[in-house]
Every structure is written in C-alpha cells, then in structure tokens.
Amino acid sequence: MNDRDSTGCEEPAAAALRPPRRHGLGTTAVHAATAPGRVQGACVTPIFQAATFAFEGTEDGYHAVRYTRCNNNPTQLALAAQLAALEGAEAALPLASGMAAISSTLLHLLEPGAHVLVPSSTYGGTHDLLASLLRRWGVSASAVGPDSGPREWEAMLQPGKTRVFYVEALSNPLVQIMDLRAVVAFARRHGLVSIIDATFTTPLNLRPLELGFDVVLHSATKYLSGHSDVIAGVVAGSSELVEGVKATANLLGPSIDPHAAFLVSRGLRTLALRVVRQNSNALELARFLARSPKVLRVHHPGLEASPYHQRAQALFANGGCGGVFSFELADGVDAAETLLKGLRLALVAPSLGGVETLVTRPATTSHAGLSPSEREAAGISDGLIRVAVGIEDTADLLADFGTALAGV
C-alpha cells in the first residue's frame, strides 16, 4: 500500500462509496465514515486542516489538483462517503450549509427561462432564493399546495420550460406531507428532475431515493450533525448529478471547512439513536398536549386524527415523523407567550434537530416576513407554537410543558 492509499487521499470511486453489503442504518452511520480507508489505523478520519496538498498527478491535469475549495479534501471525502452510504446514494456532496446545497443544486440544474414547481410553504431561504436571486436570473416558480395533485400540477406546467419539481418531506411548521409518490410519478412522466429537501425526516424516517426522487438535500445543521454546533448541508443522488453540482459549487465556493465536516461526521454516528428518541419524544409530547383542554389543535402526522396520518404511515419508516410538530392554544397569542415564558427546559430559539428541545412562535420568527393575511392563508395562526424536540427524557419534557401549561 502506498501512502495515498493508506491516507484515503485518492478520490474514491463511486462503487467504493457504498458499503460492501447492506447493513442497518445504525451500523452504516458508525462504520461508513472510515469506508474510504483508515489513516494510520485511526478509528475516526482525522481533520485534514489543510487548504492545499502536494501535487502528485501529471496526466489528469487540473483534476489531479487537491485543493479544499474543490471538495476533494480527505475529511470532506470521508464525510461524502458516510452520507452516500446513509442515503443509499451513488454519491453525496457535503457543503458549507443547507442553503449552499440548495442554491448550488438549483443553479446547476436551471438556466434563464427555466420554471420550477415548489411548495407554497417552502423553507424561507429557498423561497427567497427563488423569489429574489433566481428570479433576477430569469427563473420562475409556481407554488403547489400540500394537498394538490397531478391535475393542479399539470395546469402549472410550462412545456419546455418546467425543469424541476422541488418538494419538502414535511412542511414547516404545520408538518404537512405531500403525496410524494405522485410527485415522483409526475416528474418522471414530464421529464422533470425531482428534488426533495428531507431535512425534517433524515435518512432514518424517509428513503427518498428508494421512492424514486432524483436528488435529496439536507440542512446538515439540523438532525444530521445533531448538536446545534455546526452549519452544513448535503446533496445526494447519482454520481453524474452530484459531479455536476460539485462543478457548480467549486465555482461558487461554498465548500465545507474540514473541521465542520468532522463535526458532521461525528454527529452522524449517533443519528440512529437520536432520531428514534426524537420520534418518540415528539409523539408522546404531541399526545400529551392533545389531551389538554387548553390546547385547541395539535399538528403532528403521527396522531390518528391528523389528515396526514395515512401518508405518514405509508411513507415514513416505522411511522417515524421526526422531532418537529406544532400546536395552538385555545387562548391565542397571549397564552402562547405565557407558555413560552413558563418553559424551563425548552429553549425559545429557531432551528431544530439538535439534542436540546427548542420552541418558537413562527409568526415572530420563520414567518415574520409574511403579512397577517398571508399567514392566515397558510394556516399559521399568530398563536401557533412550533416544537422541535431534543433527546431529553420524555418524562422531563412532559413535566416541563405540563408546568408551563398550568400557568396559562
């Protein structure tokens, strides 16, 4: 073995990115990080905190240059292998943020004049990307509702222009679920690239590539890293697609720093444990709140009463719906503010997917940019509270919310 093999510095072939045989996701999360090769026998891939590397190739020209902006640093490649294995993808590309993954993917796939189908409730950054920057570059978008179907989508198609059907696995903050199988079938029938932002479901709860999606995106800032201490994103799909996005990202420059890549890789090792706990914490807390006479409505697709319950059962592995849900109190905004002030464990903060429970009132945070009537049209009342549960003991979470509710 020469040095390059033992440091895993050679860019691994797509086949080597996949685990040799199919293990469970918990096992894959632990072992895939060292799949490209162990360095000096270390059980974790070290942080190659290096911007550049000695030039060894002569024939490959530019492709032989190893430079961290070009996403071929060994720490970046080890994380790419781990992510591809978890997603069951031919290839994956970690980048500096979820928005870097989303913008690099859309800029790779679209050109002036192109048109996109996108959910009406899409993540704020994605909405703004399409509504401002991409619009300036001549890309247009049509908004599809959570309960829409092929008939509505057909009416929005712009033949020869519509290129991408972009969806999210669960909407924020009402956790609605689109008919994802119908999205894939429609995209195939009309030659569209199907893209799903699966940040809320993780590879544990949803298997988008097995459903037939072409591209999976994540904000790895959330569940994948899992500790609210790093900003990162990922694109996964076919080698051809990922290579194309990588070429675009290499020009835009949002490569992931090796230290951030290391943190995501470390977080991923415990993904399976964390998500199982968050699935059950969120469902238990949602059931607890639904029993209170002070609570008007709970939005959680794991509840039998949810209009999205059937879809969740059909699409999500073991019915796991993730750690995010929302609810409304009977007494509206003032009661919601009192409840937030009464919480001792749960922290009032945006974001989700970390080990600690976070709560927000979307009308004042993620959806503050909408007018009250736009929020109402989207079903987001001013008193709505979003909960992103962590991995605390379930009994402690129920007690925290119980105490806060008693003070309302």
Ligand X SMILES: *Cc1c(COP(=O)(O)O)cnc(C)c1O
Residue 193 CA to residue 243 CA, distance in Å, equals 15
Question: Binding string, 73-102, against ligand X, x = CB under 6 A?
Answer: ------------------------xxx---
Helix, strand, coil shares of the chain, percent, nearest 5, are 45, 15, 40
- Figure out which of the listed residues 8, 12, 233, 320 binds ligand X, where binding follows CB under 6 A: 233
Q: Is 199 in the site for ligand X (CB under 6 A)?
A: yes
Part of the chain binding ligand X (CB under 6 A), chosen from 23-31, 133-141, 186-194, 215-223: 215-223
Token code pair at residue 167? 């969806």
CB of 231 to ligand X, least distance (A): 5
Taking alpha carbons only, the member of 299, 334, 312 closest to residue 180 is 312
Give yes or no for a contact between 297 and 327, defined as CB atoms under 8 angstroms apart: yes
Q: Does 104 bind ligand X (CB under 6 A)?
A: no
Q: Which stretch binds ligand X (CB under 6 A): 187-195, 214-222, 262-270, 341-349?
A: 214-222
Cβ distance 376 to 265 under 8 Å?
no
Residue 291 corresponds to which tokens in the numbers above? 């029993």
Using rule CB under 6 A, residue 214 touches ligand X = no
Is 123 a binding residue for ligand X by CB under 6 A? The answer is yes
Please identify, using beta-carbon distances, which residue of 123 and 213 lies nearer to ligand X: 123
Report angle CA 391, 395, 400 to the nearest 5 degrees: 90
Write the CA distances from 173 to 69, 362, 369, integer angstroms: 35, 7, 15
Number of residues that bind ligand X (CB under 6 A): 13
Annotated catalytic sites, by residue? 69, 123, 197, 222
The site string for ligand X over 159-188 (x = CB under 6 A, - otherwise) reads ---------x--------------------
Instruction: Out of 148, 221, 360, 381, point to the residue binding ligand X (CB under 6 A).
Output: 221
Q: Which of 328, 345, 324 is nearest to 408 (CA)?
A: 328
Task: State yes or no: residue 257 binds ligand X (CB under 6 A).
Answer: no
2 versus 132: smaller Cβ distance to ligand X: 132
Instruction: Name the token pair of 88.
Output: 């069951």
219 binds ligand X (CB under 6 A): yes
CB of 148 to ligand X, least distance (A): 19
DSSP secondary structure string for all residues of 275-290: HHHHHHHHHHHHHHHH
Pairwise CA distance, residues 362 & 385, whole Å: 7
Determine the residue with CB nearest ligand X.
Answer: 98
Among 87, 90, 179, 197, binds ligand X (CB under 6 A): 197
71 lies in the site for ligand X, by CB under 6 A: no
The one-letter amino acid at 160: G
Closest by alpha carbon to 78, among 245, 228, 253, 264?
264
By the rule CB under 6 A, 125 interacts with ligand X: yes
DSSP label of 270: T
Residue 231 binds ligand X, judged by CB under 6 A: yes
Q: Which two tokens stand for residue 117?
A: 């189908």
- Residues between 288 and 317 with contacts to ligand X, criterion CB under 6 A: none
CA-to-CA dists, residue 303 to 29, 223, 277, angstroms = 29, 22, 17
Q: How far is the CB of 147 from ligand X (least distance, A)?
A: 19
Which positions touch ligand X (CB under 6 A)? 97-99, 123, 125, 168, 197, 199, 219, 221-222, 231, 233
